[in-house]
């Protein structure tokens, strides 16, 4: 007997699909990874250095702190004088306009020519000194600039901003400067404000040049760090000087990473790194989980989860949206554990965490925390059948985060007051988000064609519509299915198969009998319809319960794994009663076995093999003349040995040891089911 499913033939189509999904995974992950070189250290003033010895990788200046630089800039900028261009043509144009207006109409208001000369003389004085916009004067005052440099053609003069005219100030001075000789009311009637317009324009180029000249004299550094010089070692407290050095190193690191050549090297490194990790995971699947590697649903789910969590990490880190520890990374291994197995869940989790770590400044701490939390998630939730199990798992994962982070924090601090307490709130949010695994499972089931234990538990509920209908239409078949469910679950537990899966499969394996219940002995009550049919017709009716069951499964949208139990619980066996009876009646005729054969296929999983054995044994046990230990043992051995000899389990990953264990379970259970009860004595009078 072969232990595992036969090797599939080489397929270029499958190879192309795997190459495409590999390349697409690498491309998507690398696309979202940040290109800038990352300064992979996290530090804060008056906190201990968590990492090993740090030496300067190159020579760099020690930049002054922002506060110190701001003070020096403010001090040096007190001597800054912006440049303004004075437009003499603007004043001449306005004065000319005033003369024309006076000749045409204003002479009627102020006929005395002395007024005209006074106004013209005053306007010329304003425009020669300059009129500035009120908002620009306000800006100069806000910047605490006391003087400006006024450029008039080839000459430049410094003027205090208190001496500058705005339109409003010039108008007030024009009508109020000499009220003894000139009537203020007459001047107001002339609308002289129309002849006041700003003629000072900000000269950006000269102003910026003056500002840069001042700032060029400002020193941006307090010293230099030489290549190879020690900066700090593990456990040392980060004082102000060391903090300035680390901040300067970070700035210089980021500057160097902005070059085109650096970005190309970063991109090449990311492609190699991601390709190696994804390639390693593909190698693991090829060597140890080939069944997942050959199923597109499993392969797509694994790579989609890897891509999703890696991209989420890159986006969060690049845009500084949230703390990375809010992301429920443990959700990934839990999902894979529920749908696939724990080893694959752990491997996928490790690969994903390593991919995410290259986007972070503290990769070592991140890796330790996430691998610990993922491991706790895997082994705290071996199967999910109740919501309370996920709640317990989320609580354990949160505690694992907190305890591991506390351990790392205690290693690097000298005082309890230095412990980082704010991060524990992120761990609590992480645990809450982990609870969303439950509704997410339904979406993943429908998308990738999986069936979780939650769905199996819901299907095995005898109060659902299909089960209630079977209990009413075919009560004997329903009772047979219930007994079979208990029998198969016990055997599955003993050989470490999926007991919930085989239990649910047993509940639905005979649903096809609901369409013709009277043709099956467990539902008959004295009348046998087969008496009116030929053996071939009877065989076809019995065989049809498999095809009818598949139709009902399609109608009620049962998962594929349940459909597999329906079509494999008889495999490609014969309806032996009708086949042998027909052969006995026609000894000289060559019998066409295909008329008496179930459509199959034969079982190809352990769980399907258990159901086939249990179905035959449980049905045959009903016909035993007496229930003794010997008769039950002989029946179990005979039926299962015959199935093995006829090759029903050749395509199934089940061993002889498993079969021997299943036999012993069936014997124990049947002996308990059919034990002889004690006869109660009659009371003597």
**DSSP, residue by residue, 410-452:** HHH-SSGGGS--THHHHHHHHHHHHTTHHHHHHHHHHHHT---
Q: How confident is the model at residue 397 (pLDDT cuts 50, 70, 90)?
A: very high
CATH for 562 = 1.10.3210
Rounded Cα–Cα distance for residues 107 and 414 (Å): 91
Residues 266, 243 share a domain? no
Q: What integer pLDDT is reported at residue 260 of this predicted model?
A: 56
Strand partners of residue 84? 150, 202
Q: What CA–CA distance (Å, rounded) separates 378 from 456?
A: 20
How far is residue 50's CA from residue 324's CA, in Å, rounded to a whole number?
A: 19
My answer on whether 243 and 265 are in the same domain is no
Residues 211-233: tens digit of each pLDDT: 888 777 776 777 888 888 888 87
CB atoms within 10 A of CB 167: 16
Last residue of a domain, one of 393, 423, 448: 448
Most confident range, picked from 145-154, 192-201, 241-250, 486-495: 486-495
pLDDT at 4 over 70: no
Averaged pLDDT score across all residues of the chain: 85
Answer whether residue 241 is part of any domain: yes
Judge if 583 and 457 occupy the same domain.
yes
Tokens of 99: 């003369």
Q: Are residues 44 and 107 in the same domain?
A: no
Where does the pLDDT of residue 5 fall: very low under 50, low under 70, confident under 90, or very high at 90 and above?
very low
Q: Is residue 70 part of a domain?
A: no
> How far is it, in rounded angstroms, from Cα 621 to Cα 633?
10
Residues 234 and 334 in one domain: no
> Could you report the per-residue pLDDT of 73-126, keeping only the tens digit for each?
777 777 788 888 888 888 888 888 888 888 888 778 888 888 888 888 888 888
**Domain end among 382, 415, 448:** 448
- The answer to whether residues 416 and 406 touch, using CB atoms and an 8 Å cutoff, is no
Which residues on adjacent β-strands are paired with residue 201?
Answer: 85
Tally of domains within the chain = 4
Highest mean pLDDT among 52-66, 199-213, 379-393, 629-643: 629-643
Do 338 and 453 contact (CB within 8 A), yes or no?
A: yes
Please check the confidence at residue 567 and state whether its pLDDT lies above 90. yes
Model's pTM, two decimal places? 0.64
Query: In the prediction, which pLDDT does 141 show?
Result: 84
| Residue with token string 């990490």 | 313
Co-location of 328 and 412 in the same domain: yes
465 and 433 housed in the same domain:
no
Task: Report whether pLDDT(263) > 80.
Answer: no
> What is the strand order of the sheet 155-160 is part of?
155-160, 147-152, 83-86, 200-202
Q: How far is CA 161 from CA 83, 84, 132, 193, 626, in A?
A: 12, 12, 10, 21, 120
Domain that holds residue 288: 12-31+261-448
Tell the burial category of 144 from Cβ atoms under 10 Å away from its Cβ (0-12, 13-18, 19+). Answer: exposed
For the ranges 177-181, 266-270, 357-361, 413-417, the lowest mean pLDDT is seen at: 413-417
Q: What is the pLDDT of residues 180-205, one digit of tens each?
A: 777 878 778 888 888 888 888 888 88
């Amino acid at each position: 007997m072969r232990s595992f499913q036969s090797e599939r033939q080489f397929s270029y189509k499958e190879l192309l699909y795997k190459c495409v999904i590999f390349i697409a995974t690498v491309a998507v992950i690398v696309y979202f990874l940040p290109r800038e070189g990352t300064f992979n250290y996290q530090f804060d003033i008056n906190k201990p250095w968590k990492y090993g010895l740090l030496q300067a990788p190159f020579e760099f200046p020690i930049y002054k702190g922002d506060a110190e630089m701001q003070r020096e800039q403010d001090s040096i900028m007190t001597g800054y004088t912006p440049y303004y261009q004075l437009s003499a043509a603007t004043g001449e144009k306005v004065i000319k306009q005033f003369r024309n207006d006076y000749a045409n109409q204003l002479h009627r208001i102020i006929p005395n020519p002395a007024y005209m000369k006074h106004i013209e003389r005053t306007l010329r004085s304003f425009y020669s000194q300059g009129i500035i916009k009120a908002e620009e004067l306000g800006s100069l005052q806000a910047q605490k600039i006391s003087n400006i440099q006024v450029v008039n053609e080839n000459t430049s003069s410094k003027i205090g901003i208190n001496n500058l005219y705005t339109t409003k100030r010039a108008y007030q001075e024009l009508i109020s400067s000499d009220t003894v000789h000139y009537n203020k009311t007459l001047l107001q009637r002339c609308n002289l404000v129309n002849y006041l317009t700003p003629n000072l324009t900000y000269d950006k180029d000269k102003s910026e040049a003056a500002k840069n000249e001042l700032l060029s004299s400002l020193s941006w550094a307090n010293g230099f760090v030489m290549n190879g010089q020690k900066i700090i070692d593990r456990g040392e407290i980060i004082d102000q000087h060391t903090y300035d050095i680390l901040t300067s190193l970070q700035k210089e690191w980021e500057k160097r990473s902005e070059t085109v050549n650096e970005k190309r090297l970063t991109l090449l490194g990311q492609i190699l790194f991601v390709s190696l990790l994804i390639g390693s995971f593909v190698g693991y699947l090829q060597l140890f989980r080939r069944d997942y590697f050959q199923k597109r649903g499993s392969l797509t789910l694994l790579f989609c989860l890897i891509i999703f969590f890696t991209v989420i990490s890159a986006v969060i880190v690049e845009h500084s949206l949230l703390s990375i520890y809010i992301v429920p990374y443990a959700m990934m291994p839990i999902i894979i554990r529920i749908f696939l197995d724990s080893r694959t869940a752990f491997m996928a989790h490790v690969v994903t965490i390593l991919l995410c770590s290259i986007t972070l400044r503290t990769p070592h701490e991140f890796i330790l925390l996430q691998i610990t939390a993922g491991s706790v998630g895997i082994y705290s939730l071996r199967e999910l059948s109740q919501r309370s199990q996920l709640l317990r798992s989320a609580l354990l994962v949160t505690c694992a985060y907190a305890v591991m982070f506390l351990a790392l924090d205690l290693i690097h601090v000298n005082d309890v007051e230095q412990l980082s307490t704010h991060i524990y709130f992120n761990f609590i949010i992480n645990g809450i988000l982990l609870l969303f695994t439950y509704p997410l499972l339904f979406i993943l089931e429908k998308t990738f064609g999986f069936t979780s234990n939650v769905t199996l538990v819901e299907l095995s509920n005898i109060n659902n519509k299909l089960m209630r209908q079977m209990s009413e239409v075919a009560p004997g078949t329903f009772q047979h299915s219930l007994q079979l469910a208990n029998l198969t679950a016990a055997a599955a537990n003993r050989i470490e198969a999926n007991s919930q899966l085989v239990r649910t499969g047993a509940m639905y394996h005979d649903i096809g009998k609901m369409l013709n219940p009277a043709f099956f002995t467990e539902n008959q009550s004295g009348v046998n319809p087969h008496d009116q049919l030929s053996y071939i017709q009877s065989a076809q009716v019995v065989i049809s319960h498999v095809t009818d069951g598949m139709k009902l499964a399609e109608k009620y949208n049962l998962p594929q794994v349940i459909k597999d139990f329906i079509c494999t619980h008889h495999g490609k066996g014969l309806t032996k009663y009708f086949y042998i009876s027909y052969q006995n009646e026609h000894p000289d005729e060559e019998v066409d076995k295909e008329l008496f054969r179930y459509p199959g296929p034969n079982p190809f999983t352990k769980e399907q093999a258990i159901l086939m054995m249990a179905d035959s044994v449980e049905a045959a046990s009903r016909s035993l003349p007496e229930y003794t230990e010997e008769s039950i043992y002989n029946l179990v051995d005979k039926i299962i040995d015959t199935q093995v000899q006829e090759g029903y389990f050749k395509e199934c990953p089940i061993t002889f040891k498993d079969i021997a264990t299943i036999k012993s379970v069936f014997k124990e259970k049947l002996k308990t089911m059919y034990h002889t009860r004690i006869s109660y004595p009659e009371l003597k009078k």
